[in-house]
Amino acid sequence: MELIHGTRKASKFAPQDFISSMPDNVVTNILDRLPVQYAVRTSILSRNWRFKWTMLSQLVFDHFFCRYLTRRKGENNCGGIISRLLLHIKGVIEKFVLSMGEVKDINDVENINHWILFLSTKGIKDLTLAISMNETQVKLPTHLFACLELKHLNLTNCWFHPPHSFHGFPNLLSLKLSIVQFESSELGEILARCPSLEILDMRLLFYKSKVKVVDIAKSKNMKILSLSLRNIDDVMISSSTIFELVGSLPKLQVLDLDFQDQFKVGISCVFEGGVRMRFPTSCLKALNLSRIDLGNVILLSCVFEMVRHFPNLQTLEITAVKRDAHTIPIPEVVYKTTGLRSVVFRYIAGSENEVYLIKYILAGSPFLEKIVIHPHWSLAFDERLMFSRKLLKLRRASTVAEIDFD
């Protein structure tokens, strides 16, 4: 009798399955935070959980998913498994990521066409298609341009060619294009038809694809812009062109410019110094300059112009490239107060031009909190030591500024 009572008493305190009794939208929210393979495995928990995974609204098929199939299941037909999984999903699919590297059937055009057609009927809002770089560029199916609820679109190694009936993505907030090919005239039309666009990343465009500054300027809601200057189609880009671009984007807060190949013969005159332009209303707060040759005086002048004439700039990051030393004298720059608070230099070799730029920033930035300098890997110990000693001698306008020499 006591045993029976004891058993009943123990059962009263047995753990309850609170998750199963939660509303479907809460369960979906939990499952969406799991990798797809683990979300599907919840079907073995109980009869009640057998089909819970079919409520998934976010599907990420990456190399972890593929590795799981090949190691645990001995499966090589990743494309077929993805197709079967999609057919079981009951509700909307808000997010879909396809990024599996060189898996052959994943990069199959027919599979991709079928998946995008399916997603176009599921209210897709966040789409990433990363086709392997070793594969031929995939021509995107017209079904993609019918996904009018898209908010985030990330494409790699694709041919972006909208049909004539395309009227734009009215809800698109971010667009990232990597190794994507399109006709030069098409980008302007695409951007003009995406009135809500806030983030545009085109640092890794297909090398033949060209972009016009006037087309980018159409996106008046742009907040974050990333560009490779080698894809700019204008005959000559001066530092004034960059100021005009920033001035035409009243909400721009972050600008990322890649200077790759700007050191080559015939392009060394891409920038012209001596610009005296100012945009008091500029919202630009962060500037990132990648692969820039600070030994090139013309490019160095451009950096000075941007630092001096963006009034609200707080963060500056510069990733330098090491080229042959230039013999052209460093331009004299009139000191001007900046609002910089954080500065990062990468791959700095300690050249005269680089030290001059650092000197200017330290002397003209009273609000500076920290400047981080990552020297070039090729510098010997004694060269690093000499470089660090030069930095310690530089005058600082900020009493709290720290120099982190890593």
What's residue 269's pLDDT? 40
Structure tokens at 375: 């020297």
On the question of pLDDT at 371 being above 80, the answer is: yes
Cβ pair 275, 301 in contact under 8 A: no
What pLDDT shows up at residue 235?
46
C-beta of residue 175 within 8 angstroms of C-beta of residue 200 = yes
Q: What average pLDDT score do residues 232-254 get?
A: 78
Q: What's the pLDDT at 246? A: 86
CB 335: neighbour CB atoms within 10 A? 11
Segment 34-50, tens digit of pLDDT: 999 999 998 888 888 88
**Strand-pair category, 254-258 with 138-139:** unpaired
pLDDT tens per residue, range 57-109:
999 998 888 888 877 766 667 888 899 999 999 999 999 999 877 666 666 78
CB half-sphere exposure, 213, CA atoms < 13 A: 19
Which residue in the block uniquely carries the two structure tokens 């341009």?
Answer: 145
Confidence of residue 265 (pLDDT cuts 50, 70, 90): very low
pLDDT digits (tens, 9 = 90+) for 149-196: 999 999 998 888 888 888 899 999 999 998 888 876 778 888 889 999
Answer yes or no: CATH 3.80.10 is held by domain 235-406: yes
Contact 92, 123 (CB under 8 A): yes
What does the domain layout of the chain look like in residue ranges?
235-406
Identify the sign of the CA torsion 181, 187, 190, 194.
positive
Strands 95-99 and 138-139: unpaired
SS3 state of residue 82? helix
Residue type, 276: R
Which is more confidently placed, 104 or 284? 284
Cα–chain center distance at 231: 17
Residue 394 CA to residue 404 CA, distance in Å, equals 14
Which residue did the predictor score with more confidence, 16 or 153? 153
What pLDDT does 136 receive?
74
Cα 107 to Cα 136: distance, rounded to the nearest angstrom: 9
Type and span of the H or E element at 156: strand 152-156
pLDDT at 138: 83
Q: What is the mean pLDDT of residues 278-296?
A: 82
Confidence grade of residue 328 (pLDDT, cut at 50, 70, 90):
low
- At 107 the pLDDT is 65
Tokens 């001066």 locate to 238
- In the block, tokens 């009273």 appear at 366
- The predicted-structure confidence for 118-147, as pLDDT tens digits, reads as follows 999 999 999 999 987 666 788 889 999 999
167-172: long-range contacts, CB 8 A cutoff, minimum separation 24: 167/193, 168/192, 168/193, 168/194, 168/195, 169/193, 169/194, 170/194, 170/195, 170/196, 171/125, 171/196, 172/196, 172/197
Q: Mean pLDDT across the stretch 14-40?
A: 81
When the pLDDT of each residue in the chain is averaged and rounded to a whole number, the result is 83
Of the candidates 346, 352, 305, the residue with the CA atom closest to the CA atom of residue 327? 352
Three-class secondary structure assignment of 275-286: CCCCCCCCCCCE
pLDDT of 363 > 60? The answer is yes
Pairwise CA distance, residues 361 & 397, whole Å: 9
